[in-house]
Amino acid sequence: MVGIALELMSEIGLSRLQGPAPTINSLVEEIPALYRYALTLTGDSEKAEWLVGDTISKAWEKIATFRGESSVKTWLHRILHNLAADSFRRGSNEVSVEEIEEQWMDDDYSVDPEKLLESAEEREAIKDSLLRLPFAYRSVVVLHDVEGWRLSEVASSLQITLAAAKQRLRRGRMMMVSALSEASDRREASKGVPLSCWQARSMVSDYIDGDLSGGKRVDLEGHLRLCPTCPPLYASLVGVKASLSNLRDPDSVIPPDVIMRIRHGVHRVANGLR
């Protein structure tokens, strides 16, 4: 990951930076922490790598604007957070803040602490529940409870008030508890089913393309036989793939005059004409 980011910085001209060397070193030193933060936020290694690379690129573009009013760490995490926020849309599996507030205001609402803590000890269950938090709350929980930042640092990095950071942390933790409680219920319903639903769903695309190894393929097929929720998703993915393959038009659909105009334009550019 560090090598990729360094290569990117070279491509965008970081070696020509006229500023002090510690600034360059500070950018490089934060790459592992940025990647860890991005990976926890997204649950997707490719997206995390893209976010870190783009963060370094944006930081270089704005390096002249850095005044040291916050640490390099805070500044870079702010850039990454904003990039991630732009790329996220509300997902259908996200917990509803309003519903959770309503649940927790009900004196009769509770959870089974033993089952919940059992789920909390499972890394995949924690990651899945964390990804169910709306992004604004997830980012605060990750920075404070995962990365160990002070709440004032979180507020500064996300450019929100300390009161807003406290509220998001409180609600985020409440949503985590409720999401983990649901995870324990889902686990009870799927006892004996190979793989977790998330593990199975992350393999389905490779399975459709015939790229899944023998052992993983057997586990996935076993999951699809026994899981009550994943088979419709699998069938839908297969159907969408088939529909997409039918979307390709033959070359003959492109009007000849369009081809001629494109070729003419290419020749003009090649000959230095406008």
Whole-number Å distance between alpha carbons of 192 and 223: 9
Of the two residues 265 and 151, the one the predictor is more confident about is 151
**Residue 2's Cα: distance from chain center in Å?**
19
**Residue 5's Cα: distance from chain center in Å?**
18
pLDDT tens digit sequence for 193-239: 778 777 888 888 888 888 888 888 888 888 888 887 788 888 888 88
Residues 6 or more apart in contact with residue 159 via CB below 8 angstroms: 78
Per-residue model confidence (pLDDT) at position 253? 57
Whole-number Å distance between alpha carbons of 28 and 22: 10
Which residue intervals of the chain bear CATH 1.10.10.10?
97-189
Confidence of residue 266 (pLDDT cuts 50, 70, 90): low
Whole-number Å distance between alpha carbons of 69 and 16: 24
Instruction: Spell out the alpha helix ranges (H) of 121-161.
Output: 123-131, 135-141, 151-158
Residue 145 identity (one-letter amino acid)? D
- What letter does residue 128 receive in the DSSP assignment? H
* CATH node for 2-87: 1.10.1740.10
* CATH node for 97-189: 1.10.10.10
Q: Mean pLDDT over residues 64-90, rounded?
A: 82
pLDDT tens digit sequence for 123-140: 777 888 888 888 999 999
Is 175 within 8 Å of 145 (Cβ atoms)?
no
Is the alpha carbon torsion for 21, 22, 27, 32 positive or negative?
positive
How much is the mean pLDDT over the chain? 77
**Sole residue written with tokens 């990651």:** 127
Residue 105 identity (one-letter amino acid)? M
Query: Within 13 Å, how many C-alpha atoms sit on residue 269's CB side?
Result: 6
Q: What are phi and psi of 92, to 5 degrees?
A: -70, -20
Per-residue model confidence (pLDDT) at position 138? 92
Residues 6 or more apart in contact with residue 156 via CB below 8 angstroms: 70, 74
Q: Mean pLDDT over residues 66-92, rounded?
A: 80
Which residue intervals of the chain bear CATH 1.10.1740.10?
2-87
Per-residue model confidence (pLDDT) at position 1? 47
pLDDT tens digit sequence for 244-260: 767 665 656 566 776 67
Q: What are phi and psi of 192, to 5 degrees?
A: 85, -5
Residue 144 identity (one-letter amino acid)? H
Residue 197 identity (one-letter amino acid)? C
Q: Indicate the pTM of the whole model.
A: 0.59
Confidence of residue 13 (pLDDT cuts 50, 70, 90): very low
Residues 6 or more apart in contact with residue 158 via CB below 8 angstroms: 78, 81, 139, 140, 143, 165
Q: Is the pLDDT of residue 15 over 50?
A: no
Of the two residues 120 and 201, the one the predictor is more confident about is 201
Q: What are phi and psi of 168, to 5 degrees?
A: -65, -35
DSSP-based three-state secondary structure for 234 = helix
